[in-house]
Amino acid sequence: MKELAKDLFSAHSDIYAKYRPLYPGELYDFIFAHVPTKERALDAGTGNGQAAAVLAGHFAEVYATDISEKQILNAVQKSNLHYQVCKAEETPFPDNSFDLITSATAVHWFQFDRFFAEVKRVGKNNSVFACWAYKVFHTDEPKLNVIVDNFYNQTVHSYWDPERRHVDEEYKNIPLPFEEIKNPGFTTHLPWDLQMLEGYLNTWSAVQHYISKNNTNPVNELMTEIRTELGDDMKLLIHFPVFMRIGIIHK
């Protein structure tokens, strides 16, 4: 069991806020269709508040938590969006507070038993819990896909934290203790240039671990290889497959 909350993103919270991809609108539409009452929502492990900001457009009040104060300082601001620095497993909210609880690309860092107990405590009866993340992206350029796959599976693979396996397994082995709702899966499509690609790759925690251990950034060599193979001015259509677990909380 994971004993300590990991804060892997404070040191580069500025690039995290700038380069992390958005999630598709269809994902939120699917979730909202299962939440009849939209008074209060909670986003756990909110990071830069990306998902919480979307929730704020649909709920009267939204609360968002993260262990990283620096992440929250870089987060999206909305008048009905309230941030709290705390662990996802230990929140200050009263029992039966929320109609929806979400976790976007974060639940794999949590202590599952404690987190889901907290979700059940603060969620209302028949409220909804949803967590999701995206897989490694692909593009319409086969050469680039080969280069990026090699970078992920060879260059930095051993530098991922053990929790990364839950993402590779598409959260299928996370013990969701709620009545599960089947979902079709989703995909984010983004037009990027090489600068956006480089910025995003630098947000990977494995890259940050690599830099810390080796005092060199592997993304620099990767981007040199990409520019040598494909040129400097390439425009890309990036595809991020998104997987989700979603369920109804019964009390």
pLDDT digits (tens, 9 = 90+) for 34-68: 999 999 999 999 998 999 999 999 999 999 999 99
Pull the structure tokens for residue 89: 């497993």
Complete DSSP assignment for 105-128 = S-GGGS-HHHHHHHHHHHEEEEEE
How many other CB atoms are there within 10 angstroms of residue 71's CB atom? Answer: 24
Domain residue ranges in the chain: 10-249
Domain spanning 10-249 has what CATH number? 3.40.50.150
Report pLDDT for 28. 98
In the numeric block, the tokens 């059940």 are attached to: 120
At residue 241, the pLDDT reads 97
Say if strands 235-249 and 179-180 run parallel, antiparallel, or are unpaired: antiparallel
What is the DSSP pairing of strand 98-104 with strand 123-134?
Answer: parallel
- Predicted TM-score (pTM) above 0.75: yes
pLDDT (tens digit, 0 to 9) for every residue of the chain, 251 residues total?
333 454 444 445 456 567 778 899 999 999 999 999 999 999 999 998 999 999 999 999 999 999 999 889 889 999 999 999 999 999 999 999 999 999 999 999 999 999 999 999 999 999 999 999 999 999 999 999 999 999 999 999 999 999 999 999 999 999 999 999 999 999 999 999 999 999 999 999 999 999 999 999 999 999 999 999 999 888 999 999 999 999 999 99
Report helix, strand or coil for 81.
strand
Amino acid at 190: L
pLDDT of residue 8: 47
Q: What is the pLDDT of residue 188?
A: 94
Instruction: Identify the pLDDT of residue 1.
Output: 34
Amino acid 242 reads: V
Q: Which residue type occupies 7?
A: D
